[in-house]
Amino acid sequence: MKLTETVQTADFKSEKHVPVIHVEKADGLLKIKAIVGEEIEHPNTLEHHIAWIKVFFKPEGEKFPIEVGSYEFKAHGEGEIFTVPCVKTVVKTDKGGEVYALSYCNIHGLWENSVEA
Protein backbone atom coordinates (compact mmCIF):
# COMPACT_ATOMS: atom_id res chain seq x y z
CA MET A 1 0.00 0.00 0.00
CA LYS A 2 1.22 3.49 -0.80
CA LEU A 3 1.21 6.21 1.86
CA THR A 4 -1.03 8.35 -0.38
CA GLU A 5 -3.68 5.61 -0.21
CA THR A 6 -4.01 6.19 3.56
CA VAL A 7 -4.88 9.90 3.30
CA GLN A 8 -8.54 10.54 4.12
CA THR A 9 -10.80 13.37 2.95
CA ALA A 10 -14.25 12.57 4.41
CA ASP A 11 -15.01 13.34 8.06
CA PHE A 12 -16.81 11.46 10.81
CA LYS A 13 -20.16 12.86 11.99
CA SER A 14 -19.14 13.35 15.62
CA GLU A 15 -15.67 14.88 15.22
CA LYS A 16 -13.72 16.71 12.56
CA HIS A 17 -10.29 15.88 11.11
CA VAL A 18 -10.27 17.41 7.63
CA PRO A 19 -8.49 20.79 7.72
CA VAL A 20 -10.71 23.72 6.76
CA ILE A 21 -8.80 26.19 4.58
CA HIS A 22 -9.51 29.91 4.20
CA VAL A 23 -7.58 31.99 1.65
CA GLU A 24 -7.62 35.75 1.13
CA LYS A 25 -5.85 37.33 -1.85
CA ALA A 26 -4.61 40.90 -1.60
CA ASP A 27 -1.69 42.90 -3.02
CA GLY A 28 0.32 39.89 -4.21
CA LEU A 29 -0.20 38.02 -0.93
CA LEU A 30 -2.10 34.86 -0.09
CA LYS A 31 -3.27 34.92 3.52
CA ILE A 32 -3.88 31.29 4.45
CA LYS A 33 -5.62 29.90 7.53
CA ALA A 34 -5.94 26.15 8.15
CA ILE A 35 -7.89 24.81 11.11
CA VAL A 36 -9.02 21.36 12.25
CA GLY A 37 -12.31 21.40 14.12
CA GLU A 38 -13.81 24.68 12.92
CA GLU A 39 -17.43 23.46 13.14
CA ILE A 40 -17.05 20.58 15.58
CA GLU A 41 -14.03 20.71 17.88
CA HIS A 42 -11.54 17.88 17.63
CA PRO A 43 -10.51 16.28 20.96
CA ASN A 44 -7.26 17.65 22.30
CA THR A 45 -6.06 15.26 24.97
CA LEU A 46 -2.89 13.28 25.53
CA GLU A 47 -4.74 10.22 24.24
CA HIS A 48 -6.37 11.81 21.14
CA HIS A 49 -5.12 14.94 19.37
CA ILE A 50 -4.05 16.62 16.15
CA ALA A 51 -0.25 16.37 16.19
CA TRP A 52 0.53 18.58 13.18
CA ILE A 53 -0.68 20.51 10.14
CA LYS A 54 1.32 21.09 6.95
CA VAL A 55 0.35 23.71 4.35
CA PHE A 56 1.36 23.57 0.67
CA PHE A 57 0.86 25.87 -2.32
CA LYS A 58 0.90 24.64 -5.93
CA PRO A 59 1.21 27.61 -8.30
CA GLU A 60 -0.70 27.48 -11.58
CA GLY A 61 1.32 25.80 -14.30
CA GLU A 62 3.74 24.12 -11.87
CA LYS A 63 3.99 20.35 -11.45
CA PHE A 64 4.64 20.12 -7.70
CA PRO A 65 3.32 21.85 -4.58
CA ILE A 66 5.69 23.81 -2.35
CA GLU A 67 5.57 23.33 1.42
CA VAL A 68 4.94 26.79 2.89
CA GLY A 69 4.43 25.82 6.53
CA SER A 70 4.82 22.95 8.96
CA TYR A 71 3.29 23.26 12.43
CA GLU A 72 3.48 20.88 15.40
CA PHE A 73 1.09 20.99 18.35
CA LYS A 74 2.64 19.99 21.66
CA ALA A 75 0.17 20.96 24.42
CA HIS A 76 -2.61 18.40 24.86
CA GLY A 77 -3.82 19.08 28.37
CA GLU A 78 -0.61 19.27 30.36
CA GLY A 79 -1.14 21.78 33.15
CA GLU A 80 -4.57 22.67 31.72
CA ILE A 81 -2.88 24.02 28.55
CA PHE A 82 -4.36 23.00 25.19
CA THR A 83 -3.07 23.81 21.69
CA VAL A 84 -5.83 24.60 19.19
CA PRO A 85 -4.94 23.11 15.78
CA CYS A 86 -5.18 26.39 13.86
CA VAL A 87 -2.41 27.98 11.78
CA LYS A 88 -1.99 31.11 9.70
CA THR A 89 0.66 31.92 7.12
CA VAL A 90 1.20 34.46 4.36
CA VAL A 91 2.67 33.63 0.96
CA LYS A 92 3.96 36.29 -1.43
CA THR A 93 3.00 35.39 -5.02
CA ASP A 94 1.30 36.94 -8.00
CA LYS A 95 0.20 33.52 -9.23
CA GLY A 96 -3.02 31.73 -8.53
CA GLY A 97 -3.01 28.05 -7.75
CA GLU A 98 -4.15 25.57 -5.17
CA VAL A 99 -3.61 25.50 -1.40
CA TYR A 100 -3.42 22.12 0.32
CA ALA A 101 -3.51 21.32 4.03
CA LEU A 102 -2.57 17.95 5.53
CA SER A 103 -3.26 17.12 9.18
CA TYR A 104 -2.34 14.16 11.37
CA CYS A 105 -4.53 12.74 14.16
CA ASN A 106 -2.61 10.40 16.44
CA ILE A 107 -5.53 7.90 16.36
CA HIS A 108 -7.20 8.41 12.95
CA GLY A 109 -4.22 9.17 10.70
CA LEU A 110 -3.75 11.57 7.79
CA TRP A 111 -6.40 14.00 6.49
CA GLU A 112 -6.28 16.32 3.49
CA ASN A 113 -8.16 19.22 1.96
CA SER A 114 -7.50 21.72 -0.83
CA VAL A 115 -8.95 24.96 -2.21
CA GLU A 116 -8.30 27.13 -5.25
CA ALA A 117 -6.39 30.32 -4.54
To the query of whether residue 49 is one of the catalytic residues in this protein, the response is no
Catalytic residue among 33, 42, 49, 76: 42
Catalytic residue among 31, 38, 48, 98: 48
- Return the HEC string of the chain: CCHHHHCECCCCCCCCCCCEEEEEEECCEEEEEEECCCCCCCCCCCCCCEEEEEEEEEECCCCCCEEEEEEECCCECHHHCECCCEEEEEEECCCCEEEEEEEEECCCEEEEEEEEC
To the query of whether residue 95 is one of the catalytic residues in this protein, the response is no
Catalytic residue among 38, 98, 108, 112: 108
To the query of whether residue 105 is one of the catalytic residues in this protein, the response is yes
Catalytic residue among 5, 13, 15, 80: 15
To the query of whether residue 17 is one of the catalytic residues in this protein, the response is yes
Catalytic residue among 2, 5, 13, 16: 16
To the query of whether residue 48 is one of the catalytic residues in this protein, the response is yes
Q: Which residues are catalytic?
A: 15-17, 42, 48, 105, 108
